[in-house]
């Protein structure tokens, strides 16, 4: 009988072309041949230059379980982790939707079309996610496999905005109107309306300055936290500003309110309230209040209506040859005196409270010299001191205001109405507490107060 041939276990290693995996298979030994071992498999892998990602545990199990003639994964690469691209998340729409705004009750305001997006400095506009680097991989030969790095998002920073927080946020740098154009958000401090304020624009309510190239029509309103300039006219409109208001052609049947100065081409049947000067070529009808002066420039006519200035009034003509009723008032002594009396009363009340708090502080300080104050008494002492300091600061502010009032009252002694040409009968003058109904035409004169009476003096 022929002797049977001894066959040792053979090992075959297969490596895929891109070197990401290696498989091992081993045969069954015959007739007492040498069986496979982990060490032999490791040597075979080394011969194939496989040095990374070797799955020793899986190889051990395969040998223990004698998994002959199977393809067993012996090594596996670490794939690269690609980076993520950067992105931009906008907190506002990039398209402008001009349409009637619906409130929470479902009511539609056809005069509010959302033309303006007010934004204050520091308000976030966009959030920027930075790209990530990712992580390189390694193949089973131990060679590094490069990753694909993330690409930064395209970020355009418009005027009036700022890139902050290490480039991760865009914020408004100024107060203004938020607009999106040319691929970026801008904050415009000036709102320019190229035409009229009417049904096509709706009302304007803006945090910055407004310039209207056309006119503001009946029933519409322009509000600004700064200045308003209307190149055309205001017809049955409302204008309100924290700064100055200018209407180049003029205002008719309108309402104007501002904290600065008002300049109008003409002013007809219009109610004007200004903390500064009010200036126009002609004032006809209406009601005008100026915290400083009323000035009729050019032909300088003031006729019909009521005109109040806390300082002076200047015009060429006041009233008319038809003896149109025209009321002129200067000064505000009564209001200033009332404010002063109120301040005097407040100061006395606060002085009394300060005295009471002072007594409490004195008592608690003396007690503290004898023994340590309990927490509630210590708290009482702290609050008394804090309240006393607050009252003393308020007293100082009120006394400063009284000083301002006294200076203002001195100035009111020199108030006057200056008329370059004529002032007609029908005009009623009031300067502080003095009153005069004009009975005859006066020319080129100045009305002022002497010894309690209003008198006319030559200019």
Instruction: Say how far apart CA 343 and CA 203 lie, in whole Å.
Output: 40
pLDDT (tens digit, 9 = 90+) per residue, 19-53?
999 999 999 999 888 999 999 999 999 999 999 99
Same domain, 70 and 134: no
Whether 281 maps to a domain, the answer reads no
Give the pLDDT band of residue 411 (cuts 50, 70, 90).
low
Q: Report yes or no on 295 lying in a domain.
A: no
Determine, yes or no, domain membership for 393: yes
175 and 94 housed in the same domain: yes
**DSSP H or E run through 449:** strand 442-450
- Domain membership of residue 322 (yes or no) is no
Confidence of residue 115 (pLDDT cuts 50, 70, 90): confident
455: in domain: no
- pLDDT score recorded for residue 1: 46
Question: Of 138, 170, 188, which marks where a domain is finished?
Answer: 188
List, in order, residues 6 or more apart from 448 with CB less than 8 Å away.
Answer: 414, 415, 416, 417, 431, 454, 455, 457
Q: Which domain covers residue 155, as residue numbers?
A: 87-188
Q: What is the mean pLDDT of the chain?
A: 91
- Strand-by-strand arrangement of the 326-330 sheet: 204-206, 221-224, 238-241, 255-258, 271-274, 287-290, 305-309, 326-330, 427-431, 434-437
Q: What is the pLDDT of residue 405?
A: 81
% of the chain with per-residue pLDDT over 70:
95
In a domain, 225, yes or no: yes
Whether pTM > 0.85 for this model: the answer is no
Convert the pLDDT of each residue in 257-309 to its tens digit.
999 999 999 999 999 999 899 999 999 999 999 989 999 999 999 999 999 99
Return the closest-CA partner of residue 300 out of 323, 319, 287: 319
Could you tell me which residue, 111 or 212, shows the higher pLDDT? 212
Same domain, 408 and 363: yes
pLDDT at 3: 65
Query: Same domain for 200 and 260?
Result: yes
Pairing of strands 209-212, 233-235: unpaired
Token readout for 353 is 């409270």
> Tell me: the pLDDT tens digits for 368-398?
888 888 888 888 988 988 999 999 999 999 9
pLDDT, tens digit, 9 for 90 and up, residues 323-346:
999 999 898 765 676 678 889 999
pLDDT at 147 over 70: yes
Based on the fold, state whether residues 94 and 62 are members of the same structural domain. Answer: no
Mean pLDDT of the region 343-372: 90
Task: Report in angstroms the alpha-carbon separations of 143 from 14, 18, 82, 136.
Answer: 18, 11, 17, 10
Q: Indicate the number of domains in the chain.
A: 4
pLDDT tens profile 148-171: 999 999 999 999 999 999 999 999
Q: How confident is the model at residue 322 (pLDDT cuts 50, 70, 90)?
A: very high
| Confidence at residue 337, expressed as pLDDT on a 0 to 100 scale | 66
pLDDT mean over 338-361 = 89
d(CA 5, CA 401): 120
Same domain, 31 and 94: no
Over residues 229-237, the mean pLDDT reads: 98
Domain end position, chosen among 33, 48, 76: 76
Q: What is the mean pLDDT of residues 75-85?
A: 96
pLDDT at 92 over 60: yes
Looking at per-residue confidence, does 2 or 128 come out higher?
128
Specify if 218 maps to a domain: yes
Helix (H) / strand (E) element for 286: namely none
For 201-240, the DSSP string reads T--EEESSEEEESS-B-TT-EEEESS-EEESSEEES-EEE
Cα separation of the two ends of the chain = 153
- The predicted pLDDT at position 368 comes to 85
- Domain end point (choices 26, 53, 76): 76
Element (H, E) at 17: none
Same domain? 197 vs 169: no
Do 92 and 182 fall within a single domain? yes
- Co-location of 94 and 183 in the same domain: yes
Determine, yes or no, domain membership for 2: no
């Amino acid at each position: 009988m022929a002797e049977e041939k001894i066959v040792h276990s053979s090992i075959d290693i297969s490596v895929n072309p891109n070197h990401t995996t290696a498989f091992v298979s081993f045969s069954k030994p015959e007739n007492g041949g040498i069986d496979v071992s982990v060490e032999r498999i490791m040597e075979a892998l080394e011969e194939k230059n496989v040095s990374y990602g070797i799955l020793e545990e899986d190889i051990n199990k395969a040998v223990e379980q004698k998994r002959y003639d199977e393809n067993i994964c012996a090594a596996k690469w670490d794939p690269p982790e690609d980076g993520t691209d950067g992105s931009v998340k906008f907190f506002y729409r990039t398209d402008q939707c001009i349409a009637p705004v619906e409130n929470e009750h479902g009511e539609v305001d056809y005069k509010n079309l959302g033309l303006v997006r007010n934004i204050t400095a520091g308000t976030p506009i966009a959030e920027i996610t930075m790209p990530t680097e990712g992580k390189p991989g390694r193949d089973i030969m131990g060679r590094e496999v490069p990753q694909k790095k993330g690409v930064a998002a395209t970020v355009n920073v418009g005027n009036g905005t700022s890139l902050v927080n290490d480039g991760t946020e865009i914020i408004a740098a100024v107060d203004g109107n938020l607009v999106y154009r040319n691929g970026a958000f801008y904050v415009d401090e000036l709102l320019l309306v190229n035409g009229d304020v009417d049904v096509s624009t709706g009302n304007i309510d803006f945090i910055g300055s407004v310039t209207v190239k056309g006119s503001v029509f009946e029933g519409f309103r322009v509000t600004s936290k700064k200045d308003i300039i209307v190149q055309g006219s205001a017809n049955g409109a409302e204008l309100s500003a924290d700064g100055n208001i200018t209407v180049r052609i003029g205002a008719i049947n309108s309402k104007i309110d501002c904290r600065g100065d008002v300049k109008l081409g003409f002013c007809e049947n219009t109610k004007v309230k200004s903390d500064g000067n009010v200036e126009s070529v002609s004032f006809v009808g209406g009601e005008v209040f100026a915290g400083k002066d009323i000035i009729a420039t050019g032909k300088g006519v003031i006729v019909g209506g009521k005109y109040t200035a806390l300082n002076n009034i200047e015009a060429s003509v006041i009233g008319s040859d038809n003896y149109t009723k025209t009321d002129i008032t200067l000064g505000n002594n009564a209001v200033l005196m009332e404010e002063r009396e109120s301040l005097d009363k407040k100061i006395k009340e606060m002085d009394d409270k300060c005295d009471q708090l002072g007594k409490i502080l004195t008592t608690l300080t003396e007690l503290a010299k004898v023994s340590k104050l309990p927490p509630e008494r210590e708290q009482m002492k702290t609050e008394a001191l804090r309240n006393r300091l607050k009252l003393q600061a308020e007293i100082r502010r009120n006394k400063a205001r009284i000083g301002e009032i006294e200076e203002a009252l001195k100035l009111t002694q020199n108030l006057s109405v200056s008329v370059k040409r004529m002032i007609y009968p029908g005009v009623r003058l009031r300067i502080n507490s003095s009153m005069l109904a004009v009975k005859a035409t006066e020319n080129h004169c100045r009305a002022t107060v002497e010894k309690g009476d209003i008198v006319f003096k030559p200019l």
